[in-house]
Structure 1
């Protein structure tokens, strides 16, 4: 679905990839409803939209609150007249600790934001999307949704749930006007650790060389929007995601061992 003159909802629109998705969509002629729990961050996104500001609306919503999400479609339609697509980008990671040391409150929060937030959005908007001539749902999973990362096992489980739910939606909606895409970003240089309140438990910070190899949020957003416009079934964003996808398919245990070994020395 080409985004020109379409109305797209983006969750997590206040920071990182979400902010860049908003700006990329606006630059391509879409109207955008940016959703985030952080009012100040949404305000900054609005400021960055420049002369496209009139095509942007901002919505402060906690995605873990089902009733708030269910009220969102009518709010978007009241401002834009319609809704043609959603990009479920919002997500948080867990503290960098093993499952044994992770408390249930953090576990529930990660699942509530990453999985249930995505589920609430899909169910809330589907009745409206099905009425459009063409429509699209893009859900952001993660490389960690198909490859186990020690210290992020619950995050990975939440993103694996997003993966399979999205693939299921694709099958359920294949004979409708609603296309569905699942995205697997690899490493992206964002503030997700800080924004998630996830303390680091690594022996050392990533080197500048390692940081330079990461996708920028803008690069990731362009890949995601391109996948949406091409109605791709799945999108692998970044060289690391593409390589590890192939490796994991070929030998899951060796791929998992490689990631565990790499993290152990960090």
Structure 2
């Protein structure tokens, strides 16, 4: 679906991938409704877009707040949403499951799983009413590959993966296209937004930076996927590499990730 002249709702638009998706969608001629929990960072996104988008402060874990969004978007843009690009999400503290408290577990699932469910269930009827529409959910490389120290985050994103693939099947033959995106390492402030301290990186940080995707590139790859009606989008060289490796040898891929994560996990 070409997004020019379409109304696109972008969650997590206050920072990171969500902000860049919103800005890139504006550049491609879309009418953008930017959604985020943080009004301050959302105002920065609006300023970067020269005011060419609407802003909507909402907590996606609040079902009522999410259910109010379609009417607010329609009021701002003069018509219903044509697309939803759901980027909002958080990670967990970098600890093993044994050391992760239930409050952190509940929070990760509330944002990453319940939030995704609220948005999909709320916006799908709206999208089905449009001549052509698109729904995108952001999973993660950690949603198909186990990452020690982030297994609850990964489990929540695996749920997003399967939900989105299921929605693709349920929407087959309709006007609604569905895409799931799997970012690898992207240079965002998700750790700070999640209230999580980022462990100091060991080894050759310069070499590691070569595998980190910029949020601007991630946004372009995601929206290219939308415009190609892609089934899935692997964002970044690392995500593409690990996807191939995991398909060929899941245990070998898991061992590789474990070796990279061991020095980062607090025990």
The one of 216, 237, 240 equivalent to 1:239 is: 237
How far apart, CA to CA, are the structure 1 residues paired with 2:107 and 2:31?
A: 30
**Structure 1 residue 209 displacement after superposition:** 3.7
**2:180 aligned partner:** 182
**Structure 1 residue 22 displacement after superposition:** 0.6
Q: Does 1:38 align with 2:38?
A: yes
Secondary structure at the counterpart of residue 68 of structure 2: helix
**Structure 1 residue 194 displacement after superposition:** 1.1
**Structure 1 residue 155 displacement after superposition:** 0.2
The one of 64, 67, 70 equivalent to 1:67 is: 64
Is 1:143–1:241's contact at 8 Å kept on the other side of the alignment? yes
Q: Per the alignment, do residues 206 and 139 of structure 1 end up closer, same or farther by CA in structure 2, a change over 3 Å counting?
A: farther
Is 2:16–2:188's contact at 8 Å kept on the other side of the alignment? yes
**1:15 aligned partner:** 15
TM-score calculated relative to the size of structure 2: 0.95
How far apart, CA to CA, are the structure 2 residues paired with 1:148 and 1:231?
A: 28
Q: Does 1:57 align with 2:26?
A: no
**2:74 aligned partner:** 77
**Structure 1 residue 203 displacement after superposition:** 6.6
User: Cα RMSD (Å) of the superposition?
Assistant: 1.3
How far apart, CA to CA, are the structure 1 residues paired with 2:201 and 2:217?
A: 29
Equivalent residues in 2 for 1:70-149, closer than 5 Å? 70-80=67-77, 81-149=79-147
**Structure 1 residue 195 displacement after superposition:** 1.1
**Structure 1 residue 212 displacement after superposition:** 4.1
**Structure 1 residue 213 displacement after superposition:** 3.0
Is 2:178–2:229's contact at 8 Å kept on the other side of the alignment? yes
How far apart, CA to CA, are the structure 2 residues paired with 1:235 and 1:149?
A: 20
**Structure 1 residue 175 displacement after superposition:** 1.7
Secondary structure at the counterpart of residue 147 of structure 1: coil
Where structure 2 has 5 or more consecutive residues not aligned to the other structure, the ranges are none
The one of 117, 135, 155 equivalent to 1:157 is: 155
1:111-142 residue CA offsets vs partner (Å, 9 max, x unmatched): 11111111100111111110100000000000
The one of 223, 244, 265 equivalent to 1:225 is: 223
**Structure 1 residue 186 displacement after superposition:** 0.7
Secondary structure at the counterpart of residue 93 of structure 1: coil
Secondary structure at the counterpart of residue 41 of structure 1: helix
- Size of the aligned set, in residue pairs, is 263
**2:194 aligned partner:** 196
How far apart, CA to CA, are the structure 2 residues paired with 1:24 and 1:131?
A: 25
How far apart, CA to CA, are the structure 1 residues paired with 2:121 and 2:165?
A: 15
Is 1:189–1:211's contact at 8 Å kept on the other side of the alignment? no
Is 1:77–1:83's contact at 8 Å kept on the other side of the alignment? yes
